[in-house]
Chain A
């Protein structure tokens, strides 16, 4: 079913979402992909604090193309989530409530999602031009030297995503494929 939610996302709202829901997100979310995750993970290992607060926030696995003059952002679709699997459980345990990406996750991530009442969303891969229209503001807030991989705060309006793994561990990638498989 279609749902409209605010970001940051409350504990109750995250738990209410179900695998297969079509969700429109409005509010503030953060981008981070490979290099930013590695850097955050290493900071945690050294006992340092992170440049963004994880609590109830949503991270979008995305590195945009450059914005033309007068635009908030360039093309802005999801990248493959599995490369962040090594780092995601630590961030979920710090309160991260949502991740937006595309593709399969490891079991360790699914367990961390369930443990923390979080949610994994997919955005449509390869729809970067379309998705950019839902981003009205983009500000680099950390790791600027990483270029496209820097951490950005995004202001999004009705950003369309689909719940893949919900807080109960249901996984749309597994259930939907079974439904359409022809033996």
Chain B
């Protein structure tokens, strides 16, 4: 059976989700941010983490975005193969949602139309949209507004198979140390291992939308996530990069089969304002 979903419904949801994501963190992120200060040993680090908690409260109570960099809208669509979309084209429907959301939500317009000539599009479009076709008759929408302070510190390493898991660890720690204060720590680190050049980067981005309290189901990946988090927190970078033992909140790692000749590693760094809103329609 084909299920009909109107393009307007996609627009309406994307609009609401752009606003929601920029004013409220997901519960896993929110709870972690509110509790992490207890684990920080630096007095200045503790003070910064307390300010960030207060910042979340002010955003809620005063109706103001958590961060002024309300991001470029990264949107993941999982479209059921039994869905028929009626009305506008899906890309237009999504971008219209972004346009309305960024206007009505008092969100910053941070997108330039051409990467070299750099004229602001003034409505934060276009979004970056990733499509996936899946079984079923629903659409799962994830809206993840991504700030570029941390995006700029993200990396792809095309490692050799002989570099192995130690090479992966070194790549992640290099990216995090280079990022330091620029990425607004405490950060969340998304890692994609395997696939191809673009697949590892996309996995790293998606890993940021995973619950930060849930570890991988693959035993060695789970161990890797825990070990990397510990090593990152031992770097001394700390909250705001001003010293301390809380540099990251979580390391989320995903893997995919790869070529006999390669070991691609994507590392997408996100600040503590790791935003995503998910809905199924």
- Which positions in A face B, CB cutoff 8 Å? 22, 35, 62-68, 71, 74-77, 79-80, 82, 102-104, 122, 124-130, 132-133, 146-149, 160, 162, 164, 172-173, 175-183
Contacts and interface: CB of A to CB of B under 8 A. Distances in A.
B52 A68 contact: no
Contacts of B67: 75, 77, 126-129
A64 B120 CA distance: 15
B235 interface: yes
Q: Choose among B44, B107, B181 the residue with the greatest number of A CB atoms under 10 Å from its CB.
A: B181
SS class, residues of chain B in contact with chain A: loop
B180 A128 contact: no
Interface of B: 41-42, 44-45, 48, 51-52, 54-56, 58-59, 62-70, 106-110, 118, 120, 122, 147, 149, 152, 180-182, 184, 234-238, 240-245, 271-273
A127 B149 contact: no
Contacts of A180: 41-42, 45, 236, 238, 243-245
The listed residue with most B CB atoms (<10 A of its CB), out of A64, A75, A76, A178, is A75
Nearest to A178: B236
Contacts of B184: 102, 125-126
Interface centre among B42, B241, B272 (most CB of A within 10 A): B241
Which of A65, A66, A126 has the largest number of chain B CB atoms within 10 A? A126
22 contacts: A63-B68, A64-B68, A65-B106, A75-B65, A75-B67, A75-B68, A102-B182, A103-B182, A104-B182, A128-B64, A128-B65, A129-B56, A130-B54, A147-B122, A162-B242, A172-B243, A173-B181, A176-B242, A180-B45, A181-B234, A182-B234, A182-B236
Contact of B55 (A104, A129, A162, A177): A129
A101 to B, nearest CB: 10
Q: Which among A146, A175, A182 has the highest number of chain B CB atoms within 10 Å?
A: A182
Nearest to A162: B242
A177 B238 contact: yes
